[in-house]
């Protein structure tokens, strides 16, 4: 080990600080030379020392992992293999290749914008950022090893002639708005991941596009380009106007390109294929902004993302929607390319000899024994080339924070006053979005780069400077006082607030279904706790009036009917569930309630619905915890239709058969969105139907005019029609439901190693108790699926969890380990201890959400804050 440490140190260096040439434009660089410079430049710095320390921690984890691996017996491995295969086959059945997902990414965005606006930079290596940190670099600079996330001073060492341009977010945001307008033409519900990136579902567009006349597929070249390329000399006036106002371009499919000759611009006609449609979109982006974009076309988000990187600068790549093509593609894909697998995960996998996805597939049994369920499920999906086929809408922000790095702050007095400043900024931001939160977290980073966080949760939500500072100040004081070698020397301080309870009505139910599915809180468990912050009994907010919101009809402020609608739903169920208790609704109950509401308020929109008849609806809407009213029950087979012959799990039929109470065999599945029976038992068909409903729902509420900004502050959503809003909530819930999957599983920890004899099941929050069916009391423990509410004829947790996964994954099931899409980013790794095993992974999307809740037509939100914004401006 002594020796090992020495080695470790070296490796640490390489692994954490070495160049990442994983990026486009960095092929064939002289890594050794670059790394040498990076090292020499960093060596000895406090930053470097800290990185070394962290690296060692990772190495220790890897060591533990290896030890564990060494103890695995053939038998365990065999068993794991069987389990893995089971999951794999279930996942395989859920594969959906019908959607056309596109991931678009602007090329070297910030740098490209700067170059466009300053021609002198065009031929020079340049980067955007500061000497402290770079956000992006152009391709020229990349040849020197200069890349995003690299400090400017090191970049300068690599490339002395590098020109560093300060960031100009307002400009990037403006450009971002322009490209988003175009995105919206192809998918009004596209999801922006950052200023320069987005996921789009082209499926619907393509369907319509097939019947589009050529005129709608014709677009004009920007006059400027024409002028230079073809010397087509237009009037200077026209050229000028266009340059200044790109909006003049005919870039809407609806506008008639027949005006072709009008400005004399050359026209380009695009075909009806996916490639053509995407090429057209990129063409329009370029004509409109003079910037290029790259795109990836694939059957799911995970793959699309990887594909967009394939032909990175100004190119696109389509992965054909066939299992064969997908598997081929996946095989040679380096694991690090997968969204969610970062530096640490990569290193751990590498330690196991896994570098690309084919290895991933080959080692699944082992991985299932060494990693957390969430992690290996993600690996499994990746190895199968699966990912989300439903692009989730932005979710509500979960936290808001501000942090700054500064020179060095050691005086308590100054630290406190700086803390106040942060609180002021944060309060201001909170006000803009009308938020209030109950948890305040202070973040500190000392001069040695060691990070510490301290949080406190209040019984009520706060939002003002005084309120936030009062908490942050205490937390800070404590740290200042407890610092051992006295002065607490800081280099960064941050304040975050979370645990939101929105100021305006909003939400009582829209936030998360997680709480409802979560053990201990789910209806199934009969727990008495309510999860959603807004439903908690504690004072909900600073104002007493609001505190009672969850218990009494909220005051109709602003006359928003939204408020009332929501209340009614709640009332109804409240009564149905246990009187006196807080309403505990299952996801389905809620979904159904919403559906009813939607129908009532908006019957007209239902006609073409994805469903067929509405009969199932008319029946009453009360459900018992486990049982379901008959009309619906018989269709409640919405769980994976994947009946694995002989397999007891996942088979709705069997599950039902074993359910004495409601053993009606069913030939149909009930859509969780429209709640109507879908005449099929085929999972993919069923999933398709659900996707359709989801899209429809979101389409309706989001499209009508742009109120799409509902992701925004509560206010905005108030403009939505109540019923429509509900539909969206359903979506949100579903997304959360899927996401929740990972939690349920994670709660139990990895299965295989444990005796799967013990029934586990829906774990009760904090107690890991499975939910047992009343009917089965006294017999073998029974697990009840929280989604379909059917008793599962299995006592194997993994099988059970998988069943739940399938149930949750309408869309594509697949989100098993919380990975891809809806769920967000599983990133995790477990820490020590149990450790050993766990760890890792997935992650996904993320960002984008928040601060700039940029939704297609949403109003400019707050500072886009992507990264950047370095120290420069701070000091203090």
Partner DNA sequence: ATACATACC
Partner DNA sequence: TACTGGTATGTAT
**Among residue numbers 851 through 870, which ones bind DNA (CB under 7 A)?**
851, 863, 865-870
**Among residue numbers 680 through 739, which ones bind DNA (CB under 7 A)?**
739
Report the alpha-carbon distance of residue 750 to residue 464 in Å, rounded: 43
Instruction: Give residues with Cβ within 8 angstroms of 450, minimum separation 6.
Output: 50
Element (H, E) at 462: strand 451-462
Binding residue (CB under 7 A) for DNA from 287, 825, 855, 858: 825
* Residue 67 in the binding site for DNA (CB under 7 A): no
497 with 437: CB under 8 angstroms? Answer: yes
SS3 for 678?
Answer: strand
Binding residue (CB under 7 A) for DNA from 452, 537, 665, 780: 452
Compare residues 103 and 634 and give the one whose CB is closer to DNA.
103
**Among residue numbers 331 through 360, which ones bind DNA (CB under 7 A)?**
338-346
Binding residue (CB under 7 A) for DNA from 133, 365, 628, 808: 133
Binding residue (CB under 7 A) for DNA from 811, 821, 830, 858: 830
* Residue 460 in the binding site for DNA (CB under 7 A): no
Q: Shortest Cβ distance from residue 174 to DNA (Å)?
A: 17
Report the alpha-carbon distance of residue 169 to residue 33 in Å, rounded: 33
Total binding residues toward DNA, as defined by CB under 7 A: 107
Report the alpha-carbon distance of residue 688 to residue 297 in Å, rounded: 19
* 146 half-sphere exposure, CB direction, 13 A CA radius: 36
What is the number of helices (H) and of strands (E) in the chain?
33, 18
Interface stretch with DNA, choices 28-36, 125-133, 541-549, 788-796 (CB under 7 A): 125-133
Q: What Cα–Cα distance (Å) separates residue 12 from each residue in 31, 55, 154, 348, 820? A: 16, 5, 19, 13, 29
Compare residues 30 and 428 and give the one whose CB is closer to DNA.
428
Closest CA to 532 of 552, 517, 554, 553: 517
Compare residues 803 and 849 and give the one whose CB is closer to DNA.
849
Binding residue (CB under 7 A) for DNA from 139, 212, 460, 874: 874
DSSP category for residue 708:
G
Provide the angle, in degrees to the nearest 10, between the axes of the packed helices 74-94 and 373-384. 60
Q: Shortest Cβ distance from residue 621 to DNA (Å)?
A: 30
**Among residue numbers 19 through 58, which ones bind DNA (CB under 7 A)?**
38, 41-42, 44-48, 54, 57-58
Instruction: Give residues with Cβ within 8 angstroms of 734, minimum separation 6.
Output: 513, 587, 591, 672, 673, 694, 808, 810, 811, 822
Compare residues 496 and 594 and give the one whose CB is closer to DNA.
496
Q: Shortest Cβ distance from residue 680 to DNA (Å)?
A: 30
Compare residues 494 and 751 and give the one whose CB is closer to DNA.
494
Compare residues 23 and 653 and give the one whose CB is closer to DNA.
23
Binding residue (CB under 7 A) for DNA from 114, 250, 381, 395: 395
635 with 671: CB under 8 angstroms? Answer: no
Compare residues 227 and 352 and give the one whose CB is closer to DNA.
352
Binding residue (CB under 7 A) for DNA from 287, 383, 439, 858: 439
DSSP category for residue 553:
P
Binding residue (CB under 7 A) for DNA from 19, 104, 154, 490: 154
Q: Which token pair is 849?
A: 């959400």
DSSP category for residue 636:
B
Interface stretch with DNA, choices 520-528, 622-630, 793-801, 816-824 (CB under 7 A): 816-824
Q: Shortest Cβ distance from residue 795 to DNA (Å)?
A: 22
Q: Which token pair is 789?
A: 């509410």
**Among residue numbers 160 through 219, which ones bind DNA (CB under 7 A)?**
193-197
* Residue 375 in the binding site for DNA (CB under 7 A): yes
**Among residue numbers 215 through 244, which ones bind DNA (CB under 7 A)?**
none
Provide the H-helix boundaries in 373-513. Answer: 373-384, 412-432, 465-482
Instruction: Give residues with Cβ within 8 angstroms of 101, minimum separation 6.
Output: 199, 200, 201, 202, 297, 298, 299, 300, 301, 303, 304, 389, 391
Report the alpha-carbon distance of residue 415 to residue 182 in Å, rounded: 46
Compare residues 340 and 761 and give the one whose CB is closer to DNA.
340
Q: Shortest Cβ distance from residue 401 to DNA (Å)?
A: 4
* Residue 137 in the binding site for DNA (CB under 7 A): no
Binding residue (CB under 7 A) for DNA from 24, 492, 540, 693: 492
* Residue 818 in the binding site for DNA (CB under 7 A): yes
DSSP per-residue codes, 34-94: HHHHHHHHHTTSHHHHHHHHHHHHHHHHHHHHHHHHHH--HHHHHHHHHHHHHHHHHHHHH
The residue length of the chain stands at 876
Q: What Cα–Cα distance (Å) separates residue 847 from each residue in 395, 442, 709? A: 10, 21, 17
Report the alpha-carbon distance of residue 573 to residue 582 in Å, rounded: 10
Compare residues 300 and 666 and give the one whose CB is closer to DNA.
300
Query: What angle is formed at CA 780 by the lines to CA 779 and CA 782, rounded to 5 degrees?
Result: 110
Interface stretch with DNA, choices 66-74, 490-498, 542-550, 756-764 (CB under 7 A): 490-498
Binding residue (CB under 7 A) for DNA from 520, 672, 823, 856: 823
* Residue 850 in the binding site for DNA (CB under 7 A): yes
Q: Shortest Cβ distance from residue 719 to DNA (Å)?
A: 22
* Residue 765 in the binding site for DNA (CB under 7 A): no
Residue recorded with tokens 């230079």? 228
Compare residues 91 and 610 and give the one whose CB is closer to DNA.
91
Tell me the backbone φ, ψ of residue 683, rounded to 5 degrees: -60, -40
* Residue 840 in the binding site for DNA (CB under 7 A): yes
* Residue 809 in the binding site for DNA (CB under 7 A): no
Binding residue (CB under 7 A) for DNA from 577, 651, 752, 827: 827
* Residue 441 in the binding site for DNA (CB under 7 A): yes
Beta pairing partners, 296: 103, 317
Q: Shortest Cβ distance from residue 399 to DNA (Å)?
A: 4
Compare residues 267 and 753 and give the one whose CB is closer to DNA.
753
- Rounded to a whole number, what is the distance in angstroms from the first to the last CA of the chain? 44
Compare residues 265 and 749 and give the one whose CB is closer to DNA.
749
* 537 half-sphere exposure, CB direction, 13 A CA radius: 7
* Residue 521 in the binding site for DNA (CB under 7 A): no
Q: Shortest Cβ distance from residue 136 to DNA (Å)?
A: 9
* Residue 419 in the binding site for DNA (CB under 7 A): no
């Amino acid at each position: 080990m002594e020796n090992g440490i020495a080695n470790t140190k070296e490796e640490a260096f390489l692994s954490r600080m070495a160049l990442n040439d994983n990026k486009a434009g960095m092929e064939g660089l002289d890594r050794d030379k670059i790394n040498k410079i990076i090292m020499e430049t960093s060596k000895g710095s406090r930053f470097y020392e800290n990185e070394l320390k962290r690296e060692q921690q990772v190495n220790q984890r890897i060591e533990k992992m290896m030890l564990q691996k060494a103890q695995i017996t053939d038998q365990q491995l065999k068993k794991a293999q069987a389990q893995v295969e089971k999951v794999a086959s279930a996942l395989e059945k859920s594969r959906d290749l019908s959607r056309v997902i596109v991931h678009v990414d602007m090329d070297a965005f910030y740098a490209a914008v700067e170059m466009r606006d300053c021609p002198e930079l065009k031929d020079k290596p340049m980067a955007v950022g500061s000497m402290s940190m770079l956000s992006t670099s152009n391709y020229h600079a990349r040849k020197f090893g200069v890349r995003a996330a690299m400090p400017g001073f090191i970049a300068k060492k690599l490339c002395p002639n590098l020109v560093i341009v300060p960031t100009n977010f307002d400009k990037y945001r403006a450009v971002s708005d322009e490209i988003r307008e175009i995105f919206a033409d192809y998918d009004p519900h596209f999801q922006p991941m950052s200023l320069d990136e987005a996921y789009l579902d082209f499926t619907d567009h393509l369907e319509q596009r097939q019947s589009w006349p050529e005129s709608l597929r014709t677009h004009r070249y920007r006059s400027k380009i024409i002028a230079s390329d073809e010397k087509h000399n237009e009037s200077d006036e026209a050229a000028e106007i266009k340059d200044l106002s790109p909006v003049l371009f005919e870039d809407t499919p609806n506008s008639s390109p027949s005006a072709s000759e009008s400005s004399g611009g050359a026209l380009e006609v695009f075909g009806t294929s996916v490639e053509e449609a995407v090429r057209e979109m990129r063409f329009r982006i370029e004509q409109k902004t003079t910037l290029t974009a790259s795109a990836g076309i694939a059957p799911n988000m995970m793959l699309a993302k990887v594909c967009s990187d394939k032909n990175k600068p100004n190119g696109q790549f389509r992965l054909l929607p066939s299992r064969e093509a997908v598997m081929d593609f996946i095989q040679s894909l380096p694991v690090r390319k997968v969204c969610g697998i970062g530096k640490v995960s990569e290193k751990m996998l590498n330690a196991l000899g896994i570098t690309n996805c084919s290895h991933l597939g080959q080692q699944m049994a082992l991985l299932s024994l060494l990693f957390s369920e969430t992690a290996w499920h993600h690996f499994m999906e990746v190895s199968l080339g699966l990912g989300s086929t439903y692009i989730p809408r932005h979710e509500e922000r979960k936290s808001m924070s501000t942090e700054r790095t500064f020179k060095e702050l050691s005086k308590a007095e100054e630290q406190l006053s700086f803390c106040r400043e942060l609180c002021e900024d944060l309060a201001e931001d909170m006000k803009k979005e009308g938020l209030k939160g109950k948890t305040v977290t202070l973040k500190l980073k000392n001069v040695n780069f060691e990070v510490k966080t301290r949080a406190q949760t209040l019984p009520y939500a706060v939002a003002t400077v005084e309120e936030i500072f009062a908490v942050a100040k205490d937390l800070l004081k404590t740290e200042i006082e407890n610092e051992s070698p006295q002065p607490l020397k800081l280099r960064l301080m941050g304040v975050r607030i979370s645990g939101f309870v929105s100021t305006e009505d909003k939400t009582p139910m829209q936030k998360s279904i997680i709480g409802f599915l979560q053990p201990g809180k789910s209806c199934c468990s009969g727990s008495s706790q309510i999860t959603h912050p807004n439903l908690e009994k504690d004072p909900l907010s600073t104002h007493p009036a609001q505190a009672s919101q969850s218990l009494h009809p909220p005051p109709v402020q602003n006359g928003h009917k939204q408020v009332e609608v929501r209340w009614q739903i709640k009332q109804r169920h409240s009564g149905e569930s246990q009187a006196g208790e807080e309403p505990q609704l299952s996801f389905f109950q809620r979904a159904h309630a919403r559906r009813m509401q939607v129908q009532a308020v908006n019957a007209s929109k239902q006609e073409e619905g994805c469903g067929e008849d509405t009969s199932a609806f008319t029946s009453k809407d009360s459900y018992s915890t486990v049982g379901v009213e008959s009309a619906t029950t018989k269709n409640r087979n919405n769980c994976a239709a994947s009946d694995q012959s002989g397999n007891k799990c996942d088979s709705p039929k069997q599950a039902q058969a074993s359910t004495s109470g409601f053993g009606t065999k069913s030939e149909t599945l009930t859509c969780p969105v429209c709640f109507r029976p879908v005449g099929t038992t085929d999972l993919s068909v069923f999933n398709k139907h659900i996707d359709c409903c989801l899209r429809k729902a979101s389409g309706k509420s989001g499209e009508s005019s742009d109120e799409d900004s509902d992701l925004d502050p509560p206010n905005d959503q108030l403009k939505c029609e109540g019923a429509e809003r509900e539909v969206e909530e359903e979506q949100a819930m579903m997304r959360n439901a899927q996401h929740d999957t990972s939690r349920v599983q994670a709660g139990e920890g990895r299965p295989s190693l444990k005796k799967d004899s013990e029934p586990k099941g829906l774990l009760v929050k904090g107690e890991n108790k499975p939910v047992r069916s009343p009917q089965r009391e006294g017999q073998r423990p029974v697990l009840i699926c929280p989604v379909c509410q059917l008793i599962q004829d299995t006592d194997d947790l993994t099988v059970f969890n998988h069943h739940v996964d399938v149930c949750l994954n309408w869309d594509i099931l697949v989100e098993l380990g919380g990975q891809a899409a809806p769920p967000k980013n599983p990133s995790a790794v477990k820490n020590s201890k149990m450790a050993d095993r766990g760890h890792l992974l997935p992650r996904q999307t993320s960002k984008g959400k928040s601060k700039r809740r940029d939704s297609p037509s949403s109003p400019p939100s707050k500072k886009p804050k992507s990264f950047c914004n370095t120290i420069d401006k701070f000091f203090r």
